[in-house]
Chains A and B, each alone.
Chain A
Amino acid sequence: MRGFAAAPQPVEDADHGGSSGGSSMIEKKGITLRGVPLYLDMQATTPMDPRVIDAMLPFMTEQFGNPHSRTHLYGWESEEAVEDARAKIARLIGADPKEIIFTSGATESNNTAIKGVAMYYKDKKRHVITTQTEHKCVLDSCRWLQQRGWDVTYLPVRPDGMLDMSVLEAAIRPDTALVSVMAVNNEIGVVQPISEIGALCRSKGVFFHTDGAQAVGKLPLDVNASKIDLLSLSGHKIYGPKGVGALYVRRRPRVRMEPLMSGGGQERGLRSGTVPTPLVVGLGAACEVAARDMQSDLAHVRRLEERLRTGITSQLQGVMLNGPSDLALRYPGNLNLSFAYVEGESLIMGLKEIAVSSGSACTSASLEPSYVLRALGVEEELAHTSIRYGMGRFTTDAEVDRAIDMTVSHVNKLREMSPLWEMVQEGVDIKSIQWAQH
């Protein structure tokens, strides 16, 4: 049917010699795997592109100089590479290279933007606006401000995850310093109306920060067209290295901020510390490749999402899409589905040959349902059974087909064991049942 006639077998009794030439099994965390799982968790992180590794290697071998050294070749060649990378990042988002600051990742960029701007303008402006579905690092930075006396508004979102512009407009006050809304959500892939938010903020004289970790390099984004004042981006979400990111800080009209890191005054004094040349070169290369491959990547991911979504929903009932169904409003590389009458943890455990997650990597360790799904108003049971499939540049059709087969067979298997599913099939309305009190 899809080229995989063989039904997925339980790992324990699988005896595939394969081309690895042995019966060697992978054992980790008490789980035995017969091979490396398929990777469908591209929102958690992406593998590095070989073009990125190729750009980085010279700076991990002989060209090891400190880019801030002014007196010798080692420093000069590193500085040149760092500035070249800065220009590549700026080009991808339509910025000036002088507006790019290197950080350790999107978490640091978000912290710097939110706390830094709020602290600089604290005498006149004591209010910050964000949404309930932001990444933990944005919410936690806002919490930090709240504990120090700032007022924070956490805006609700619509059931498809979109921010309502009228809700935002009503929340803006004369003392609002900053609005922070992420461009693409990491759990459900919803694309927020960034340009409209930017235009509104500019007209009200409020700075606009956006967390672009899941958007930059994947969707077209221009800081001037969208009137973005601060933009966070991350290396490892765009096939670059982990441990590096950048913050775009607008120069005209100028955004002032207090640095979180004190020291040698690198990066215009906003982020002290030696710039890590190999990582920064990798980030630059990742941005250059992303700019060049964006249309190809996007078309590829759109095709895969269509294949995965229709493959699963054509074979299973009771599958709910979390996030907007309109693909103009959702990044297609992110498909978040809930399976009714299936226990989420059991499903994830059953799908151990596919690396997927139930939500963000930061919160996947807890048994609590995702706060993002709860903010959308997804029922607790369904929020517990969500699976996020993340596809990207290196995902193949065969992997998607395998994910469909595995998901369908495991959901069916778990439902066969579920008394609730049996009752639903018999036409009993589960919600009408009065469960006995104990």
Chain B
Amino acid sequence: MAAANEARTLFRALLREGKRFPNYNLRDFIQRRAKESFRESAGVTDPSAVQSLLKRGREELELVKRQSTVYGLYGRKFKNVLELDLKFKPNTPAASSA
């Protein structure tokens, strides 16, 4: 199934791109929400509904890419206290470490 393959690819890409957010809360939100949405959509079989879900998935992936760049440019210099304590090592994009 081409659609199922594309959905899996999109899901993995969303999780990967979501980790590029320098903001801790947004990284966490995108992981949680992406898993929720893909689980909810797993049972959808109607071809037109599948197509519109895939379309939204593609759009949201592009949005995550754009916004992680924006957050990288304008993020804080200081880390959240939780990240300091957890010795969190995010996949920091080049933009935020510059």
Contacts and interface: CB of A to CB of B under 8 A. Distances in A.
Interface string B77-92: 1111111111111100
Contact of A394 (B29, B63, B64, B76): B29
A353 B63 CA distance: 31
Contacts of B87: 18-19
B9 interface: no
B81 A37 contact: yes
A26 interface: yes
Contact of B78 (A26, A51, A296, A395): A26
A265 B76 CA distance: 41
B16 interface: no
A384 to B, nearest CB: 26
A333 to B, nearest CB: 15
Contacts of B54: none
A261 B88 CA distance: 51
Interface in B41-94: 63-64, 66-67, 70-71, 76-90
Contacts of A54: 63, 66-67
A296 B33 contact: yes
A38 interface: yes
B6 interface: no
B78 A394 contact: no
Interface residues of B, number: 30
Interface residues of A, number: 32
Contact of A38 (B66, B76, B82, B90): B82
B25 A50 contact: no
Contact of B82 (A24, A393, A398): A398
Nearest to A394: B25
A312 B80 CA distance: 22
Given A50-B63, A54-B67, A35 B33 contact: no
Most interface-central of A16, A39, A47, A50 (chain B CB within 10 A) = A50
B84 A38 contact: no
A317 interface: no
Contacts of B29: 393-394
A35 B88 contact: no
B82 A50 contact: no
A357 to B, nearest CB: 18
Nearest to B92: A19
A115 interface: no
A248 B81 CA distance: 41
A19 B70 contact: no
Contacts of B63: 50-51, 54
Contact of B79 (A18, A50, A393): A18
Contact of A35 (B21, B66, B84): B84
A309 B54 CA distance: 39
A47 B67 CA distance: 14
B7 interface: no
Contacts of A83: none
Interface string B13-44: 00000000100111011001100100000000
A296 B38 CA distance: 13
Interface in A389-410: 393-396, 398-399, 402
Given A19-B89, A50-B64, A50-B67, A399 B78 contact: no
A402 B84 contact: no
Given A19-B87, A50-B26, A395-B25, A35 B78 contact: yes
Highest count of chain B CB atoms <10 Å: which of A18, A24, A396? A18
A36 B77 CA distance: 10
Contacts of B21: 50
Contacts of A399: 25, 82
A19 B82 CA distance: 11
Contacts of B66: 54
A36 B26 CA distance: 15
Given A50-B67, A53-B67, A394-B26, A20 B79 contact: yes
Given A50-B63, A395-B25, 14 more contacts: A18-B79, A19-B84, A20-B78, A24-B78, A37-B80, A37-B81, A38-B80, A50-B70, A51-B63, A51-B67, A54-B66, A394-B25, A394-B29, A398-B86
6 smallest beta-carbon distances between A and B, as pairs: A18-B84, A50-B67, A35-B81, A394-B25, A35-B84, A396-B28
15 contacts: A16-B84, A18-B79, A19-B87, A20-B79, A34-B84, A35-B78, A36-B79, A38-B81, A38-B82, A39-B25, A47-B25, A50-B64, A51-B63, A393-B29, A399-B82
